[in-house]
Amino acid sequence: MDEAEARAAVDAAEREPLLGHRIAPVRAAIDAAAQILDGPMPAGGHVPELRARLLLRLATLKLVETDYEGADQALEAVGRHVPDDTVLRFLAGIRACRVAIRRGPEPRKLAQQTLLNAAARLPAFETGAAGWSVVTAEVALAIAELALHDDVPDASAFEPIEDIANNVDQPEVAFAGNQLVAAYALSIGDGERAVRSLRSVVTIARDHASPQDEVEGRIALASVLVATGTPLALEEATRTIARSSTGSPICIAPRCSRRPVCCRTPARPPARSIACSSSRAPLSRSKTSRSTSPRSV
């Protein structure tokens, strides 16, 4: 295997949209890239960077799966592969904050301080360079996720992610961002804003063949439309539900009305993990990690 093939596989894993239920294609792409990187590779070059990028992708997958131990393992390994890569290390730190936000009040406090420091440092970097747009989106997602846990969320925390979600060419960022904006809009009684965001959620899920995400989005959208009580809204709600039929099983477990799917906390996270436990270990191995706090950015 050569480095060009490995880079193409990592690029493919990063491009595959990851939504709430659209997980299998992303896992398959990660596994395919890991198999190449675990094989014979030329010494030197950009292989460590490719491994770090794939581990970051794996961490995002684990975040969606609510496997926080697996996400932490993957993020810890990023620094061992690219100790001097500012963009990837910064991105790993912010993603670690997103894991901590989901772990509970105490880790959330640590994440808050780290995010404030990170946001203050962003202007000092050349954010127009390659990779920094991803960092900016990650910071915006993390700030909105954190704010949503406040008793009275700060409106300014949702403005950056709303702007990014409406203009970004990354479906999963737009999907998660619109979920967060919809959740915030519902918490303050702004039905029109929630409807706009939920329409985007449905469109993204439909366009990327994720029927479960589409159905969940349609149910949420119809509920908000019904609450408005206008004839046009009721008509749209009826059409929305009528189009949501699918043969796939749908999760309709009760969830907090102010928190999107990505922030729900399970009673016990899944134990499976394919995170790399050391810089020399293959990407398909794992070790148990007990990290519960974000690392410095």
The residues spanned by each domain of the chain are 1-132+271-297, 150-262
Q: Give Cβ neighbours of residue 28 (< 8 Å, ≥ 6 apart).
A: none
Residues of the chain where predicted confidence (pLDDT) is lower than 50? 246-293, 295-297
Q: Tell me, what's the pLDDT at 137?
A: 93
Going by the DSSP 8-state scheme, the letter that residue 216 receives in this structure is H
Pair of tokens at residue 220: 């949420």
Q: Tell me, what's the pLDDT at 123?
A: 78
Task: Give the Cα separation of 291 and 100 in Å (integer).
Answer: 9
Q: Tell me, what's the pLDDT at 73?
A: 96
Q: Tell me, what's the pLDDT at 19?
A: 97
Q: Tell me, what's the pLDDT at 189?
A: 94
For residues 246 and 276, the answer to whether their CB atoms sit within 8 Å is no
